[in-house]
Amino acid sequence: MLSDAEIQQLIDDYDNLQGQLDLLVSDKAMAVPAEVKQVLADIDAEFDPQIEVISAKVQQAREAMTEAVKAAGHTIGNDHWQVVFVKGRVTWDNQKLEGFAVAHPEIKAFQKIGVPSAMVKTRGEK
């Protein structure tokens, strides 16, 4: 297992690499000539409104499909798409069960503890 200082070094190394990547992406964007940027802006102006309209319709259709499948109670699809039904999860109040387990330790035999996980999150702008 790594020490906190070693993990901090991993995070610092990651931060450095991410900074290099951000700079490279920025440099690439700045390398595009102004004439090309204008052509791309013109293309965006032509297509973006249409993309917004169709994207909204796609989102509405997606919501309608998922609501319909939830109501149907089973998975339904076609040759290209499948809307998968997932029944509701059963959850328990862990705090209350921990209290109950004090008086009834045999219930601990049914407890499963998952594998820990970690995620990388940004804390703010540089």
> For 63-99, how does the pLDDT look when each residue is reduced to its tens digit (9 = 90+)?
999 999 999 999 999 999 999 999 999 999 999 999 9
**Cα(120)–Cα(15) distance, integer angstroms:** 11
The residue range of the domain holding 55 is 19-110
> For 9-54, how does the pLDDT look when each residue is reduced to its tens digit (9 = 90+)?
999 999 999 999 999 999 999 999 999 999 999 999 999 999 999 9
Q: Is residue 124 part of a domain?
A: no
- The tokens describing 118, both together, are 């970690």
CB 19 within 8 A of CB 126: yes
Q: Is residue 126 part of a domain?
A: no
**Cα(14)–Cα(2) distance, integer angstroms:** 16
**Cα(69)–Cα(86) distance, integer angstroms:** 9
Phi first, then psi: give them for residue 115, nearest 5 degrees. -75, 135
Q: Is residue 75 part of a domain?
A: yes
Q: Is residue 118 part of a domain?
A: no
Q: How many domains does the chain have?
A: 1
Q: Is residue 4 part of a domain?
A: no
pTM over 0.85: no
